[in-house]
């Protein structure tokens, strides 16, 4: 279904669209190899290149995930980051949401919040999911606040889950539930 459609979710300041192989360029590679951008992402454990990123995009399709480019409207739909809905569990009607703004010039402008709101709306209205989850490192104040701002509720705290810097870090799990969920029989 997803691969056959021209995909675009329009927001106020951003658009979300299907990520394309042509989006994978040296700027994208730079985002994923940048310590500051990656400090709370599992991608920080690898050195990235164009080939690895293309492989990841292909794996998302195979793993029932929707990977979207976050594009800035005021700059001719400039690709500034990504958001993923997935892995989608069609039986339980759940998915995880993960995101990042790679272009540091666009940090702190609300684009991440808008992307999460748009992705959750799509997950609920179009995919008819019941619940979306998002996990953050305990010290990731930016994502913690973004998720609360977008309606997610703190659901669980797993102590000392992540190896981080020279110690351990808690894993905070947030969720948001589709109040209009329709049980399909």
pLDDT in tens, 147-180: 999 999 999 999 988 878 888 999 999 999 998 7
Which CATH number is correct for 6-131, 3.40.630.30, 3.20.20.140, 3.10.129.10, 3.40.50.1000?
Answer: 3.40.630.30
Check whether the bond before 87 is cis (ω within 30° of 0). Answer: yes
Q: Any idea where the domains of the chain sit in the sequence?
A: 6-131
- The pLDDT value given to residue 11: 94
- Calpha distance 76→31 (Å, rounded): 20
Predicted TM-score (pTM) of the model is 0.88
State pLDDT tens for residues 30-82.
998 887 777 666 666 577 799 998 998 999 888 999 999 999 999 888 999 99
**Whole-number CA gyration radius for the chain:** 16
| pLDDT score of 3 more than 80 | no
Query: Tokens for 124?
Result: 């609920």
**Helix locations, the chain, DSSP H:** 26-33, 35-38, 50-62, 111-125, 141-149
């Amino acid at each position: 279904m997803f691969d056959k459609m021209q995909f675009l979710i329009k927001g106020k300041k951003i658009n979300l669209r299907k990520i394309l192989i042509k989006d994978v360029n040296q700027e994208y590679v730079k985002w994923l190899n940048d310590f500051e951008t990656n400090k709370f992402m599992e991608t920080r454990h690898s050195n990235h290149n164009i080939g690895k990123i293309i492989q990841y995009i292909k794996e998302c399709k195979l793993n029932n995930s929707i990977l979207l480019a976050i594009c800035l409207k005021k700059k001719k739909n400039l690709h500034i980051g990504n958001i993923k809905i997935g892995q989608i569990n069609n039986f339980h009607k759940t998915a995880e949401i993960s995101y990042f703004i790679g272009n540091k010039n666009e940090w702190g402008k609300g684009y991440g919040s808008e992307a999460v709101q748009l992705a959750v709306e799509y997950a609920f209205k179009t995919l008819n999911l019941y619940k979306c989850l998002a996990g953050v490192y305990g010290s990731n104040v930016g994502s913690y606040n973004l998720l609360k701002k977008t309606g997610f509720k703190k659901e669980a705290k797993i102590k000392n889950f992540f190896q981080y810097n020279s110690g351990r870090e808690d894993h905070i799990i947030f969720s948001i539930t589709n109040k209009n969920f329709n049980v399909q029989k």
